[in-house]
Structure 1
Amino acid sequence: MGSLTVLQVKAATKPGRYVDGEGLMLVVKPGGAKTWQLRIQANGKRRDYGLGSASIVSLADARERAYEMRKQVRAGDDPVALKEAARKIKATVPTFEVAARDLHEERKAGWRNGKHRDQWLSSLEAYAFPAIGSTPVDRVNVADIRDLLASIWLVKPETARRVLQRTVTVLDWAHAKGHRPSEAPVRAVRAGLGRQTKTDSHFLALPHDQVADLMKDLKESDTAGRLALRFLILTAGRSGEVRGAKWSEIDFDKALWTIPAERMKAKREHVVPLSSAALEVLRIALTLRRGGEDVVFPGMKGQPLSDMTLTKVLRVALPGSSWTVHGFRSSFRDWCAECTGYRSEVAESALAHTIPNKVEAAYRRTNYLQLRTTLMADWAVYLGEGPVTAIISPKTT
């Protein structure tokens, strides 16, 4: 404990230094102003540090600040330099709006569809910026995100989901740039929102503009799990369909994968056109084939991989994230809607979705195989997996 008392600090009026102890002193200036000062000697050098005005900083607070500063000096740090560095870091942390616009500017050249470029930013301008636009990006928390989504989560589920995905993208980008200590708290945000009625809305989908980076990571090794996940993403297939895929279902010459009715959710045969990238995955899997086993992506003892295997592969590739394997179907569907000119029924056919309207289903006799072939080739190109010569322009017929 120092030698000064609160009453002595208050009564001190004569200019000079009033020592408290261990280098801490009260300095009274000729004009009557009182400040705290800490004198420390380290490495043979003496240095005085200001701790603030005595009219604002109490005696107890001054002692606490002096204690912390002495600890820093003993650790070999320069308190002034540390304070200045912290100030500079704080000054360089952008607001959420600035971060979003910087990210948009950085990535827009890679978005081929002008409409998507505009919609990506306009959705944040409409819903996110009014709520958190002026908030430093390192201070955006779960409650902030939940509050901005609350009014549209159930009444505009698709819009809300896109706003969430784009908000998450901004925060994850800010984390990668060193502006946030952590990635977006996705799971906690969704926990506080009601369940949407939209099919598969509870399967959290990695934003489609981030899937290409994941694909690069998955190519680092050719395990059955990684190959299966790559194939699942390239074909927009369901986990069970991909894990249960058999070589007898694959036609390399026609580049088709025919899934029998008994393995489909709707109990109808589904023909999947295979892009050159999907075929390449199969060729790699073929080199790993053991004996005459028919399972394309076998686990132990030649049996199909478990659903958890693909989840573990995703968790290793994207540690700490909440994205789901099934969510890649939503990633694909969002890309179709936002970045291409394909009609919705073509995308729905690619996903083997059942048409709820029986009359419409009766009249729709095509499975859009030709269009789906170019659609899947375009998807592979978007993921950085297709040949340069692939058709990538949006289709409108």
Structure 2
Amino acid sequence: MSLTQKVIQNITTPGKYQDKYGLALRVSPKGSKAWIVRYTFDGERRDDGLGKFPDVSLAEARETAMAIRLSARKGIDPRADRERAKEVANSAFTFEDDANAFIERHRHDWSTEHAHQWEASFRDHVYPIIGKKAVCIIDTKIVISVLDPIWRTKSVTARRVRNRIERVLDYSKTLGHRDGENPARWRGHLQNVMTKFTPAPTPLESMSYIALPGFMRRLEDEDSRAARCLQFLILTGCRTSEAMGALWSEIDWEHSIWRIPAERMKGKEEHEIPLSQAALTVLKEVGTRGKSDYIFANRNYTGEMANNTLRRLMEKLGEPYTVHGFRATFRTWLQEKTDFSNELCETALAHVVGNITQRAYTRGKQLEKRRPMMDKWARFAVERMQPPVPRQGMNPVLASRTPILKPLQPFS
């Protein structure tokens, strides 16, 4: 007899239940239900799966079963026919489509900076070559065409790009947009074709704290919003993405605190930083308040600056250090020149302190203990700065400002 929706829902006994048009419902011992259709093509009897119930309804399964048996009677191979239809459907999904979808799906779990890195590497090195190609046709030769131009000249970037392509193609396969092995896989595949990495010279991780006051004087002479952002980053010990994405709404002027919401933090927990007088002066002089939500806004005041802005500033100043390395500079100075506890130092950097149980009982931000730390760091960083000489054509707001610090007591 023919199946009905109600009958199917009530079936619990494992077995095979026949319908019409060669269609049958197979029920597994675990209770899952799947459609199969039996037909004969070129003298061969076949059983093809049509999907699980209820993902594929009874009406849909019957319609597909009829179409398959009709194709077989006409001498058309149903499997080849369905494969062609699948290829046509999958051709609508380009690498750029799936890459963007993958990034959006993971954005919540990533830091803003990490998401920017994915987007920038695809924009600069991948999309121009395979962005518009259907993911179902991307093979090893195509992947190599992306990697070859940067394999020797930008070896670290190339390694990351390969890994990111592999992850996107795995994602595409999971969604059914492509089949087969992943052509970007390294182990046992691309490692047989691509030469070993010859690492390019990498920037020194961090500047010595001894050199920092002199560097801060040079930053003071830079008439740019990027320089103000880098000053603020150094004075607060924050991460690059946290400084560049800073919003005016995060500043508590009354208590001199910068509250960074959990969604912008690497550890997904709100972080509060006591602001020294030097850090507050940078904020008052940056010139974007009332023009943008972002403190260190881009030229059009529509969002934050490009994610490579601070790195380019370091290159302009001829400094071989990473921007992130200033956190290490801060941490080294704390360790070698102060008596603040390790717990307080780690808290200042928004690092996890203690095990899960200890953290459950230690929920305070220790703000008042950290405030002298940030003040002392600011005094050290700018202790010998002199008032800048106004330059012709300089931003009027910057030209009329006082230096980050007026004369201070020598650091001790």
Short-chain TM bin: 0.3 to 0.5
